[in-house]
Amino acid sequence: METQQLKSVEAAIDVHFQNPELLQLSLIHSSYINEHPLDAPVSNERLEYLGDALLGMAVANRLYQDYPEMPEGDLTAARAAIVCGECLSEAALALGLGQFLYLGQGEERTGGRTKPSNLAAGLEALVGAIYLDKGYEEAEAFGLRVLKKQLDRIAADPVPQDSKSALQEAMQAQGRGTPTYRLLDETGPGHARTFTVEVLVGDESLGQGSGQRKTDAEREAARAALNTMKS
């Protein structure tokens, strides 16, 4: 990525890097290094790991400070709702992060710039890069800034539920037991796996879902089950 392009990224995220190589690394998807091993020997996955932990801590601290009466279980649910893949991809999309990702040709052809999993991972990697370049306070401030919309939702819905929790409560209310999730299929190359999962209560299949992470596929399966129950 040329210097001018990196400046465009900095303008979009409103952060200036002392080490532009960290910014560049945060945008390299694993599909790109498979096709350009000499140009990009490593992907953003290690930075993604770091950013994931940092975002969890930043959000946990903000919730702890802003909601002193909220019990531990509700704090955990609120944090999980904010740093889930769906919310992170929503925040990344608002930044226009997808247009800056380094993708392999196959990933590009299959709409990789708008895939929620790529966007969420890119945002986490970006937070990790900001931490290494500018320190924790800057990374925390950036994370809370880009997740402001998601944080503000907590004021309206202090105990958000994801679809898996909602389905479990619905099943228990009906006396039907705890839902379990079974992996049905796993397809695609290593850098772009797609998981298909079904949710069951006993031997009864309630719904199926797919995603690039098992947890996302499970949430989709639970959401499908809830939609079936409502119809």
How far from chain centre, in Å, is Cα 27?
Answer: 15
- In order of 9, 44, 143, the CA distances from 130 in angstroms are 13, 13, 10
Three-state SS at 93: helix
Cβ–Cβ < 8 Å for 120, 93 = no
Give the distance, in angstroms, between the CA of residue 198 and the centroid of all CA atoms in the same chain.
21
Specify the residue for token string 């392009």. 5
Catalytic residue, from 52, 90, 133, 220: name it.
52
Alpha helices of the chain — where are they, by DSSP H?
3-13, 20-26, 30-35, 45-66, 72-82, 85-95, 105-109, 116-134, 136-146, 148-156, 163-173, 214-230
Length of the chain: 231
Active site includes 203?
no
Among 90, 107, 124, 140, the one annotated catalytic: 124
The residues near 54 (Cβ < 8 Å, ≥ 6 apart) are: 127, 128, 131, 136, 139, 140, 143
162 is catalytic: no
Inter-CA distances, 199 with 30, 143, 158, 213, Å: 30, 33, 27, 15
Q: Which are the catalytic amino acids?
A: 52, 124
